[in-house]
Copies of this chain bind each other. A is one copy, B any other.
Amino acid sequence: MTKKEELPRPEARLPKGLQDTSAPEIRATEAMLGTIKQVFERYGFEPLDTPAIEYTDALGKFLPDQDRPNEGVFSFQDDDEQWLSLRYDLTAPLARYVAENYQTLPKPLRRYQVGPVWRNEKPGPGRFRQFMQFDADTVGAASVAADAELCMLAADTLEALGFERGDYVVRVNNRKILDGVLDAIGIESSFKTRLSVLRAIDKLERLGIDGVGQLLGAGRKDESGDFTRGAGLGEESIERIWRAYRFFGRDWKKPFSVGVYQRYLRKFVPFEYPSESIDQGLEELQDIRRLVRAAGYGPDQICIDPSVVRGLEYYTGPVFEAELTAPIKDKRGQEIRLGSVVSGGRYDGLVERFTGEKVPATGISVGVSRLLFGLQLLGKVKGDAVQGPVVVLVFDKERMADYQKMVQELRNAGIRAELYLGSSGMKVQMKYADRRGAPCVIIQGGDEKEKGEVQIKDLVLGAGLTAIEDREEYLAKQAEAQFPVKEADLVKEVRRVLDRHKS
């Protein structure tokens, strides 16, 4: 083709917070998603897909940290100047879908969805700007039986992935109680302040009392110098929150019953009963507890926990998160806390945004990448390894058609195989086969061709030869590792080698 004008060379690099994914990780992820899908299907959820791009106003802005530039969402304008955004979760598109198709949907609607979401946030270790979510939601069910079921779903999913009872726990709380408490201790009730307070409290474990105190007050500058605006509370209000925090916090004894929760509230929060919001919240927790216990889930699997808050603004009732409790060590042997791997809650107002009518809804989201990371560190990953292809080497470039024919014979027999397609000599070809994890290579030079034979070289056995000191044994093994076979027996003999090394 004719020469194109010379342009400056672009740099081959990815924007920060984005990453390529290698074959073993893709395979492990797919195996994991397959397992999750199976559990979700067993619960009667049906798949739904929505596109990555939505109208910005339809998605709404429900992310934490929305004071940052660009508000956490990737946005751009369409030809007709309307704003479009990449979805930042799978819940906002679901709300749009339900509002758009409400009349024709089964009610309740039970759907699951898996796919990437995008956040225009400052990337950091383990924080990416594209990541995978796997959600299940029940829309149109006001009953807390729907919330209880999602907690069971979270537990069943984790167990199906190989975590045992005791390796994880699903913790449940209720925004109605948190809201009632903030009312009771007299925290200013503007929506924005209230949300900032909840989000600050949600970060207690990560930032500690000082950090959260700053977020409750004027604001906090992180290590990198970035400033997050605070809730703007005065010292006295912050003090009142700390006093009430005794029960928000983790210094409670397990199992934590609803009765204990109620006594704590009475003792530490200066409010007058009845508080409708708190009462309702406690009652719902009691119902959830009853349902999951009846279905056979113990407090080591699903428990009530006043420290659960969740940072998303749209939650209106029960909130839950599943956490890995098994001790996890990173590659350097340091114990780490992974945080929640499944989370969710009830959001009764999200469809109402569009229609003006309340549609109760509740859902959970599996943090796919974090969960995979946990499985990796605990040595529970499945499906990441696949046997490499048999490589047919090119001894004589003029005879490509013959070699191609052998490859095709192997493939037609269902054997993973490829022809070496580079232009290098035999030594580099052997290295390539090693690199590809080939269990064996096929070689046919002029001599073999004349005899109607091919050489099969078992690379796994071959690699072990150097360790053998006994001459007799060496020769025997060597004969086993490389041997001639009739062309017609190629498939049969290759299969024999593959069977040697099946894992």
Q: Which residues of B contact A142 (CB under 8 A)?
A: 423
Query: In the complex, how many angstroms separate the beta carbon of A272 from the nearest chain B beta carbon?
Result: 19
A463 within 8 A of B: no
Tell me which of A70-78, A370-378, A492-500 binds B.
Answer: A70-78
Contact between chains at A53 and B118 (CB < 8 Å): yes
Instruction: Judge whether A274 is part of the interface by a CB distance below 8 angstroms.
Output: no
Expressed in whole angstroms, the Cα–Cα distance for A9 and B421 within the complex equals 59
Q: Determine whether A191 belongs to the interface, using a CB cutoff of 8 Å to chain B.
A: yes
A439 within 8 A of B: no
User: In the bound complex, what is the Cα–Cα distance between A145 and B455 (angstroms)?
Assistant: 22
Q: Chain A 461-482, CB within 8 Å of chain B: the 1/0 string?
A: 0000000000000000000000
Number of copies of this chain in the oligomer? 2
* Residues of chain B lying within 8 A (CB to CB) of residue A386: 41
Q: What sequence of 0s and 1s flags, for each residue 51-66 of chain A, a beta carbon within 8 Å of any chain B beta carbon?
A: 1111101101000000
Chain B's nearest CB lies how many Å from the CB of A20? 5
A275 within 8 A of B: no
Contacts of A140 in B (CB 8 A): 421-422
| Contact among B1, B294, B436 with A194 in the assembled complex (CB-CB below 8 Å) | B1
Question: How far is A355 from B156 in the complex, measured between Cα atoms in Å?
Answer: 50
Q: CB of A296 within 8 A of chain B?
A: yes
Q: Point out the residue from B11, B99, B194 that lies within 8 Å of A58, measured CB to CB.
A: B11
Is A259 positioned at the interface, with any CB of B under 8 Å from its CB? no
User: Is the Cβ of A179 less than 8 Å from the Cβ of B43?
Assistant: no
Interface residues of A in 345-400 (CB under 8 A from B): 353-356, 386, 388-389, 391, 400
Determine the residue in chain B with the shortest Cβ distance to A110: B418
Which of B107, B130, B156, B354 touches A411 (beta carbons < 8 Å)? B156
Judge whether A175 is part of the interface by a CB distance below 8 angstroms.
yes
Interface stretch (choices A239-247, A322-330, A401-409): A401-409
Can you list, as one digit per residue, whether each of A119-163 has a CB less than 8 Å from chain B (1) or not (0)? 010000000011000000010111101101100100010000000
**B191, A12: Cβ atoms under 8 Å?**
no
Interface contact A43-B418, CB-CB below 8 Å: yes
Least Cβ distance of A232 to chain B in Å? 15
Residues of B within 8 A of A118 (CB): 52-53
Give A143 to B411 CA distance when docked, in angstroms.
20
Any B CB within 8 A of the CB of A21: yes
CA distance A422 to B50 in the complex (A): 24
In the bound complex, residues from chain B placing their C-beta under 8 Å from that of A355 are 9, 12
Q: Are A106 and B435 in contact (CB under 8 A)?
A: yes
Residue A96 at the B interface, CB < 8 A? yes
- Per-residue interface assignment for chain A, residues 234 to 267, with 1 indicating a CB less than 8 Å from any chain B CB and 0 otherwise: 0000000000000000000000000000000000
| A23 close to B (CB within 8 Å) | yes
Q: How far is the CB of A189 from chain B (nearest CB, A)?
A: 5
Contacts of A27 in B (CB 8 A): 47
Q: Are A2 and B191 in contact (CB under 8 A)?
A: yes
- A106: B residues at CB distance < 8 A: 432, 435-436
Q: Say how far A423's CB is from chain B's closest CB, in angstroms.
A: 6
Given contacts A149-B419, A400-B291, contact A57 B405 (CB under 8 A): no
| From B2, B84, B110, B423, contact of A190 by CB (8 A) | B2
Contact B354 A130 (CB under 8 A): no
Taking a contact as CB atoms under 8 Å apart, the answer to whether B15 and A82 are in contact is: yes
Could you tell me the distance in whole angstroms from the C-beta of A273 to the nearest C-beta in chain B? 21
A49 contacts partner chain B, Cβ-Cβ < 8 Å: yes
B354 and A12 contacting across the interface, CB-CB below 8 Å: yes
- Pick the residue among B55, B130, B404, B405 that contacts A13 (CB under 8 A): B55
Residues A20 and B1 in contact in the complex (CB < 8 Å), given A10-B55, A296-B408, A421-B146:
no
Contact A79 B74 (CB under 8 A): no
Alpha-carbon separation in the docked complex, A401 to B107 (Å): 21
User: Is A108 part of the contact surface with B, judged by Cβ < 8 Å?
Assistant: yes
A5, CB-defined interface residue at 8 Å: yes
Q: How far is the CA of A435 from the CA of B7 in the complex (A)?
A: 59
Q: Which residues of B contact A100 (CB under 8 A)?
A: 12-14
Let me know if B295 and A405 touch, CB within 8 A: yes
Inside 8 A of A332's CB, which chain B residues have their CB?
none
The 8 closest A-B pairs by CB, nearest first: A44-B418, A44-B389, A12-B99, A141-B421, A294-B401, A21-B49, A76-B76, A18-B51
7 more contacts with CB within 8 A, not counting A140-B422, A294-B402, A294-B404, are: A1-B175, A9-B356, A10-B57, A43-B418, A52-B86, A143-B421, A148-B404
